[in-house]
Amino acid sequence: MTRIYLDNAATTSLDPQVLEAMMPYLTTHFGNPSSIYSYGRESRLAIENARKSVAKILNAHPAEIFFTSGGTESSNTAIIASVRDLGCKHIITSSIEHHATLHTVEYLYHSGEVALSYVKLLPNGHIDLEDLEKLLAGSQEKCLVTLMHANNEIGNILDIHAVGELCKMYSAIFHSDTVQTVGHFPFDLRNTPVHFITGAGHKFHGPKGVGILYVNENVKIKPYVHGGSQERNMRAGTENLYGIVGFAKALELATANYETESNYIKGLKIYMMEQLKKHIKGISFNGDVLGRSLYTVLNVSFPKTEKSEMILFNLDINNICASGGSACTSGADTGSHVIRAINNNPNQVAVRFSFSKHNTKDEIDIVVEKLKEII
């Protein structure tokens, strides 16, 4: 049986062209980028070219791009620096953030470093901007607002400009976890009022274990990882050379093919919605599905029955990969904190299907058939 992979919000397959760009640095070009001889300088050049390429695509300055091990490290760095270096004593976030953000802000709160507030959510899962303004206006302390650009489970997209303008008005620092949108949407960071954004290569057909942190040039922070002078003294440790080259190549490909691929993938999402509505009674969709939402993510609630409680297990037996809520914790089934926050219905089981350019309508037909049997 061939596998049908519908969990692309968790990770994507490596594009063959990305692997090709990485190969020399996995084999012959292995010099340490910190070495001063020519062999090391070639590696250094590859990293700086990758940085320029990423900066150009995101319309940022190369000096604002730092390479990291991925989204989690980038978010940790930004949040902790905002508190310890930029003087933020009050964090405003939401209950549906990725755990890389939630667990970091909870750690800072429990260690007594910050006050912590959660902005209200609208019924469709979007952030209540009026409540955000109330929290900012009512704060006696300097605030860090940390809100994700697009939710990894339900796909809702934040109005990043509206939030950024509010933060400006109240002199707050703004960090946005953009892991689900870098490589999936065009960015113009010169004209986006944000201090920190994050990216992870494996979300858009790049390698795992490499990410970026964008730090606006007007912000000065100290390193989070101490040691060597890599990344302009901002992140110690020998650089993930082939990962960085792969990240830049994947971003380049994603950007070049954005129009056609995003339209194709959105078509798959809408097709699956229609097929599910047609063939399975009592289902509903989580989030602002046809509004401001990721074209890659469809989160479906199925009526809870003895059979549907085992839905992921049954899909897996049939070689279909999907996830219940967030894939980063899919091993321990405590249910999804995101679904609990927006749709706490104990009589439903939520499944996230997420698509890539490699999926087909035929695959969706097979999955819908299997779901009919399972449910």
E strand segments, the chain: 4-5, 65-68, 90-93, 115-118, 143-146, 173-176, 196-200, 211-215, 284-285, 297-303, 320-321, 348-354
Is 328 among the catalytic positions?
yes
CA distances from 106 to 102, 115, 176, 253 (A): 6, 10, 17, 37
Q: Residue type for 168, please? A: K
The backbone torsions φ and ψ at residue 67, rounded to the nearest 5 degrees and listed phi first, read -85, 135
**Which residue is associated with the tokens 């699956």?**
272
CA distances from 333 to 109, 153, 303, 325 (A): 26, 15, 18, 9
Return d(Cα 320, Cα 369) in angstroms, integer: 12
Which of 143, 167, 321, 328 is labelled catalytic?
A: 328
Return d(Cα 208, Cα 238) in angstroms, integer: 16
Tokens describing residue 325: 């809520």
Tokens describing residue 332: 């321990």
The backbone torsions φ and ψ at residue 229, rounded to the nearest 5 degrees and listed phi first, read -100, 20
HSE (side-chain half, CA atoms, 13 Å) at 125: 30
Q: What's the count of helices (H) and strands (E) in the chain, helices before strands?
A: 12, 12
Antiparallel, parallel or unpaired: β 348-354 and 143-146: unpaired
Tokens describing residue 9: 């919000």
Beta bridge partners of 185: 182
Which residues have a catalytic role annotated? 328
